[in-house]
Amino acid sequence: MACQSEADTSSGQTKSAHTPVESLKFLPTQDVLGGAKRLVSYPQHGIALTSETGKNSALLSGNYGQIDYRTDESQLLLATVDLDRQQALITTYSEAGWSTPVYLPQPDYKIESVCFYQDQANNAFLFLVGEQGHGEQWLVGHALTPIAHPQRVRGLSLPPNSEYCVVRDSHNQLFINEETVGIWAYDASPEADLQRAPIAMVTPFGDVIRSVADMSLVPGGIVFMDPENSSLEVYREIGSTWQFEERVSLPELSDAEQVSAKVQNNEMTLAILHDDGVYHTTLSWPHVAQATDNSLPVLPAMAETAPVPSLGDAADDPAIWLHTDTPENSRVIATDKQGGLLVYDLQGNELQNLPVGRLNNVDVRKGFIWGGDTIDIAVASNRDHNSLHVFAIQPDNGEVSEIGEIATISDDIYGLCLYQNDQDQIYAIANDKDGRFFQYLLSGAQGTLRGELKREFAVNTQPEGCVADDRTQQLFIGEENKAVWALAAEADASSEMHLVLATGDQLHADVEGMALYQAENGSYLVVSSQGNDSFVVLDSTPPYTYHGAFRIGFNTERLIDGVSETDGLDVISANLGGEWAQGILVVQDGRNRMPVEKQNYKYLPWSAVTEALNLKH
């Protein structure tokens, strides 16, 4: 690889020798913002757009620190740190000039740097990297438009000697330096766990000589400074690994910690900040564009429930009860597997909390004979008693009350679903963690709750989710690490199973909740693909055609976080009014963020799924 030093004779370089530069970022190679080429922060002076000849324009006066941006042809979204106030701020620049800055609250630590992340749905997030390992992620805008009141998404525990960050939006990767250790990559998604992977490590664990400071991403690679060794380090991404490619020695530069790079026509241009100004150089950089992982549509959640009462992994499975006369008054009946049963309205408000024990999965049906009455029921798997816990649902107002429990032969009851045949007999189909399924016929005609075991069958490994298609007498079951299976739902039918979809590229283990969207023009099976935080949609009849998958992301306008680690879900095709006119999908959210709260449930209009996957409706 050829390296060429470039003496800078531009006015910008000459000025930088006398006016210290706090931070510098190259702007995109294509013409943006009237031909500006750089974004420069001058301490005690401000932030300016700089032309190819070094001419400054569009000064944002102030005393600012590290900068980052996102831009298009006509507008720039800027993040920086106001050093006088020790607060991060967001502002935009366009033909109209700089907008009024939006400040984030002052943290209780010094902010070292800021960096943007723009997800696939164009939500704009800002990472704060602070001293002593402090870090935060904030929702700050949509596309290039800031929101008036930024929302804290989550706190981050970062390495104690971190000072710089950079994000690769296309791969949802946040890169953080740890000065004497190396570079770490984190998942930038606000719903992700805080796990890290090494990118470039200091000896003896890697090829970096002494230290890591500022970083800059280029297509297919990353460059960063090793100030203790007075060198620029160049790494190339090959497949899923990062490999050392070249070291550029810079002994003439004093305390060179910051770098910005851009690539055009297989040539990399670099600007390196040091004590005496800005040093420019170029490197040859032949590269191949890297594939991205943004193939699934991301649909914004439109409503969410109040958090469940219990801490930890508590929310699990919802069931949607349809109010026949007034669909807008339908209910979401959901489990808190540490405490009981919850009832929500379609706005997500909690209406009831029945603290009856550790309920795992729940399902509902209409037309249960109880004494001399016909009622609606909800049935849940009770893990405290290995029982079927049965509840009555008042038809006129959706109020839920406890009827009683039915003992089962399960040793460790887990998942559950209901099946109603064409004689209106209702069966509860429960499973055990050891793979066994038990099908009980429920009855209560004499005012006494009974359950008669009618069928047993099993899968080889742990199951949980299941759903029955009453119209076609089919039962779908999930074997968490293997597949979705179908078999006859009738109690006296064969238990031979047929493969619907195995785990792999389309369905990622664990296989969790499942539900049926049943409309006049088609019936779809929806499955929680927990391993990649997505939802798979299939035809519910052979050959079980795969229609695609989607994720549920942040809704910036309504300030609702996205969805991850989903266990249970339910869907209904009935017109529930307003945005739920084509039905509603309700899913459990394993990580309730913005702010970090106890788990809850998120609502999505089915119309969004129909549009994203081009489904019939």
In the predicted model, is pLDDT for residue 530 greater than 80?
yes
CA dist 248 to 234, 238, 281, Å?
8, 20, 10
Query: Which pLDDT does position 2 carry in this prediction?
Result: 40
Lowest mean pLDDT among 243-247, 294-298, 603-607: 294-298
Q: Which pLDDT tens digit goes with each residue over 415-471?
A: 999 999 999 999 999 999 999 999 999 999 888 999 999 999 999 999 999 999 999
Q: pLDDT band for position 290 (50/70/90)?
A: low
SS3 612: helix
Q: Is the pLDDT of residue 477 over 90?
A: yes
Q: Give percent above pLDDT 90 in the chain.
A: 87
Supply the pLDDT for residue 514.
Answer: 98
Q: What is residue 3's predicted lDDT score, i.e. its pLDDT? A: 40
Amino acid at 142: H
Give the alpha-carbon dihedral of 409, 410, 416, 420, to 10 degrees: -20
Q: 123-142 pLDDT, tens per residue?
A: 999 999 999 999 999 999 99
What is the CB neighbour count within 10 angstroms for residue 261? 24
Any idea which architecture 3-284 has in CATH? 6 Propeller (2.120)
5: pLDDT strictly greater than 60:
no
Terminal C-alpha separation, the chain = 57
542-558 tens-digit pLDDT: 999 999 999 999 999 99
How crowded is residue 28: how many other Cβ atoms within 10 Å of its Cβ? 15
The pLDDT, as a whole number, for residue 292 is: 56
Closest to 490 measured CA to CA, from 419, 408, 416: 419
The DSSP element (H or E) to which 597 belongs, if any, is none
Predicted confidence (pLDDT) per residue in 478-517, tens digit: 999 999 999 999 999 999 999 999 999 999 999 999 999 9
Determine the pLDDT at residue 294.
57
Beta bridge mates, 237: 242
Confidence of residue 211 (pLDDT cuts 50, 70, 90): very high
pLDDT at 384: 97
Q: Are 66 and 41 in contact (CB under 8 A)?
A: yes
Q: How many CB atoms lie within 10 A of CB 519?
A: 16
Kindly tell me if the per-residue pLDDT of 4 is higher than 60.
no
pLDDT average, residue stretch 181-204: 95
Q: Taking residues 385-389, what's their average pLDDT?
A: 98
Please give the pLDDT value at position 550: 97
Of 321, 335, 312, residue with least CA distance to 383: 335
* CATH 2.120.10.30 applies to domain 299-613: yes
CB-CB neighbours of 479 under 10 Å: 23
What strands, in cross-sheet order, belong to the sheet with 600-605?
Answer: 303-304, 600-605, 584-589, 569-572
Delimiting residues of CATH 2.120.10.30 domain(s) in the chain: 3-284, 299-613
| pLDDT score recorded for residue 54 | 78
Q: Residue 288: its pLDDT value, please?
A: 76
Which amino acid is it at 127? F
Please provide the average confidence, as pLDDT, over all residues in the chain: 93
Q: Using DSSP bridges, classify how beta strands 546-553 and 298-300 pair: parallel, antiparallel or unpaired.
A: parallel
Calpha distance 396→377 (Å, rounded): 13
Question: How far apart are alpha carbons 71 and 94 in whole angstroms?
Answer: 10
Residue 522 has a pLDDT of 81
DSSP letter at 132 equals: G
The model's pLDDT over 300-341, given as tens digits with 9 standing for 90+, comes to: 999 999 999 999 999 999 999 999 999 999 999 999 999 999
pLDDT tens readout for residues 16-60: 445 689 999 999 876 677 788 999 999 999 999 988 877 888 899
| Structure confidence by residue, pLDDT tens digits, 213-256 | 999 999 999 999 999 999 999 999 998 899 999 999 999 999 99
71-102 pLDDT, tens per residue? 988 899 999 999 999 999 999 999 899 999 99
Coil, helix or strand at residue 151: strand
Both tokens assigned to 118: 């723009």
